[in-house]
């Protein structure tokens, strides 16, 4: 069995969970209200903002399953026409997702909303030095936690 968490570890974990949950709720609610877009839909658009991605790579980028990425992209194709899926003659097995012009417009419309929410509920309350420190800590945590189901926490 893993050792029991110290009060400091538990306090830090609860603070991270609380801040993440609140920020996610603010982002999701504001995007839904203003743009009829969920946070997860925005993340698909953001991931595709620099160009098309293979569906497998998109799933990795979003840290979700391939079937989850397929469902999200399918919804964005059908709902608003923000995304299209394509195959290439070079590799017919791979499916690529890319933004449509309407998807680019939706992403552009979301940018000031996301920036306003993140500023209001996150960045405006912390110094740049603390933000840099938080980024380093969160990167260490992300790098230490693989995105798969095979991670062994020492539980029996």
DSSP H helical ranges for 63-127:
66-79, 101-121
What rounded mean pLDDT belongs to the chain? 91
- Residue 41 has a CB neighbour count (10 Å cut-off) of 25
pLDDT tens digits for 35-49?
Answer: 999 999 999 999 999
* C-alpha to C-alpha distance for 133 and 15, rounded to whole angstroms: 16
Q: What is the pLDDT of residue 94?
A: 87
Angle between the 55-62 and 66-79 helix axes, to the nearest 10 degrees? 100
pLDDT tens digits for 102-111?
Answer: 999 999 999 9
Question: Among the listed ranges 20-24, 82-86, 113-117, 151-155, which one has the minimum average pLDDT value?
Answer: 151-155
What integer is the mean pLDDT of 21-40?
96
Q: What are the backbone angles phi and psi of residue 91, rounded to the nearest 5°?
A: -150, 90
* C-alpha to C-alpha distance for 30 and 25, rounded to whole angstroms: 8
Residue 146: is its pLDDT beyond 80? Answer: no
What integer is the mean pLDDT of 124-151?
85
């Amino acid at each position: 069995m893993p050792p029991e968490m110290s009060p400091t570890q538990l306090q830090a974990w609860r603070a991270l969970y609380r801040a993440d949950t609140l920020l996610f709720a603010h982002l999701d609610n504001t995007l839904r209200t203003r743009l009829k877009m969920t946070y997860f839909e925005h993340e698909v658009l953001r991931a595709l903002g620099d160009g098309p991605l293979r569906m497998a790579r998109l799933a990795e980028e979003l840290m979700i399953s391939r079937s989850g990425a397929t469902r999200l992209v399918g919804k964005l194709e059908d709902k608003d026409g923000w995304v299209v899926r394509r195959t290439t003659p070079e590799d017919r097995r791979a499916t690529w997702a890319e933004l449509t012009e309407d998807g680019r417009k939706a992403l552009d419309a979301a940018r000031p909303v996301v920036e306003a929410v993140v500023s209001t509920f996150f960045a405006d309350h912390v110094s740049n030095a603390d933000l840099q420190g938080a980024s380093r800590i969160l990167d260490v945590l992300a790098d230490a936690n693989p995105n798969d189901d095979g991670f062994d926490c020492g539980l029996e």
